[in-house]
Amino acid sequence: MKNPVKFGKYFLLERISVGGMAEVFKAKSFGEAGFERPVAVKRILPSIAEDQEFIAMFIDEAKIAVQLTHPNIAQIYELGKVGEAYFIALEYVAGKDLRSIFERARKRNEALPVPMACYIVMKICEGLDYAHNKKDAAGRNLDLVHRDVSPQNMLVSYEGDVKLID
């Protein structure tokens, strides 16, 4: 994407990834007096935008994830719709996903340093423990289970923050 594309109140700057059901963009939101905020925008692919079952799952994902506030879980900011396209705006993590980190190490014929691997696993476990033990406002367990704990859903920022997504 050479030029930013307006999408509701966001400007899509570049596509970060695309999967079978959604695509994710690095984007910016703008406010008063030159305020800018980088965000990630996850948008349902047009090819499945009319699949009501997937749309319901996408909306449920946003409603559940917005309740999770933890340093090792990417924060959800908004669930919205532009035209017929549903989207989730979430925390943008400037860094790489763990799959990319693994691939780079493999291409260099290097192993991920053990202390780094332990740190990443520890932070992901902290986020998962929080989510799996999360209770609602009445104190009832939400019984959340992350069903796709995979390297592409683990982000490591250039500053060393580790965040779980999806």
Catalytic residue check, 166? no
Pick the closest to residue 57 from 67, 48, 69, 46 (CA basis).
48
How far lies 122's CA from each of 55, 66, 72, 119, 134, in Å? 33, 23, 10, 5, 18
Q: What is the sign, positive or negative, of the torsion defined by CA atoms of 80, 81, 82, 86?
A: positive
Please tell me which residue in 51, 129, 143, 148 is annotated as part of the active site: 148
Phi and psi based region of residue 162 (left: phi greater than 0; alpha: psi -120 to 50; beta: remaining): beta
- 93 close to 74: Cβ distance less than 8 angstroms: yes
> What are the residue numbers of the active site?
148
